[in-house]
Structure 1
Amino acid sequence: MLRFIIQAVVTALGLWLAAQIVPGVDFTSTGSLVAAAVLLGLVNAIVRPIMVILTLPLTIVTLGLFLLVVNAAMIGLTAWFLGGFVVDGLWAGIGAAIITGLLSWVAGAFSSGERSR
């Protein structure tokens, strides 16, 4: 449970940073940002694995780059479910996916360093 909360906080920070940098990504309040982070975590846990399997041939042909589109689709699906979080188009979703993914990667590198001690 603690790992999910930490991941939700990191995702919320990533979405906030994406809203500051990427045009077309916005949220109406802090509550909608937190709700978007939690909902994105649930969507990534339930829907994303199915989408990764269904799009595996296309992902192989594009050498993994299609996973950016899948991640953008998950962020778009989250925005579609949640009224206070807006993603305008595929490119805004891809930008948000890149920023959120990079921040999660960096946070994961720090957290795995603590586990090895």
Structure 2
Amino acid sequence: MRFLMQAAINMAVFLACALLFPTGFMMNNMMVAAVAAVILALLNQLVKPMLLILSLPLLVFSLGSFSLVINAVMLEMTALFVPGFGFASFWWALVVALLLTLCNLIFMDQTNIHIRRQ
């Protein structure tokens, strides 16, 4: 369930960024957005933990802000795998990574279900 929620949020952010930044963020159609969202969610599950461990000293030194750079790298990796999805530069990937991080922070915490037994 969490994987599908993350993919849906990623797709929504990709569509919004395609409208907001037409010169810096290239996306051909909605199907490309859906495929890119699923690929990014898979990369976040499989590759991102290894990148976080490898960059642990930089994460500690930057107080966690280096994770935005890791997110931008993940977006660039997604652009390598998905044709019709790309960025004009690494800085545009960083902007989209910032928006993805903010949206995931806001919407992913809303899926927690707490059950109290009496």
Q: TM-score, normalised by structure 2?
A: 0.88
Give, in angstroms, the shift of residue 61 of structure 1.
1.2
**Displacement over 4 Å in runs of 4+:** none
Letter in 2 for 1:4: F
Determine whether 1:10 maps to 2:1: no
| Counterpart for residue 114 of structure 2 | 116
Query: SS at 1:83's partner residue?
Result: coil
RMSD (Å), alpha carbons: 1.4
The 8 Å contact of residues 11 and 37 in structure 1, kept in 2 or not, is answered as yes
Give, in angstroms, the shift of residue 54 of structure 1.
0.6
Richer in helix (by share) = 1
In structure 2, how many angstroms separate the alpha carbons of the residues matched to 1:68 and 1:32? 23
| Counterpart for residue 21 of structure 1 | 20
In structure 1, how many angstroms separate the alpha carbons of the residues matched to 2:70 and 2:14? 16
Instruction: Please tell me whether Structure 1 or Structure 2 has the larger radius of gyration of its CA atoms.
Output: 2
| Counterpart for residue 41 of structure 1 | 41
The 8 Å contact of residues 14 and 104 in structure 1, kept in 2 or not, is answered as no
Q: TM-score, normalised by structure 1?
A: 0.88
Give, in angstroms, the shift of residue 28 of structure 1.
0.1
Structure with the larger RCO, 1 or 2 (CA within 8 Å, 6+ apart): 1
| Counterpart for residue 96 of structure 2 | 96
Query: SS at 2:26's partner residue?
Result: strand
Q: Deviations over 1:80-113 (max 9, x none)?
A: 111111122221111111111111111123222x
In structure 2, how many angstroms separate the alpha carbons of the residues matched to 1:3 and 1:65? 24
Identity, in percent, stands at 31
Q: Deviations over 1:34-53 (max 9, x none)?
A: 00000000111111111111
In structure 2, how many angstroms separate the alpha carbons of the residues matched to 1:49 and 1:17? 27
Structure 1 alignment gaps of length 5 or more: none
In structure 1, how many angstroms separate the alpha carbons of the residues matched to 2:78 and 2:55? 19
In structure 1, how many angstroms separate the alpha carbons of the residues matched to 2:64 and 2:2? 27
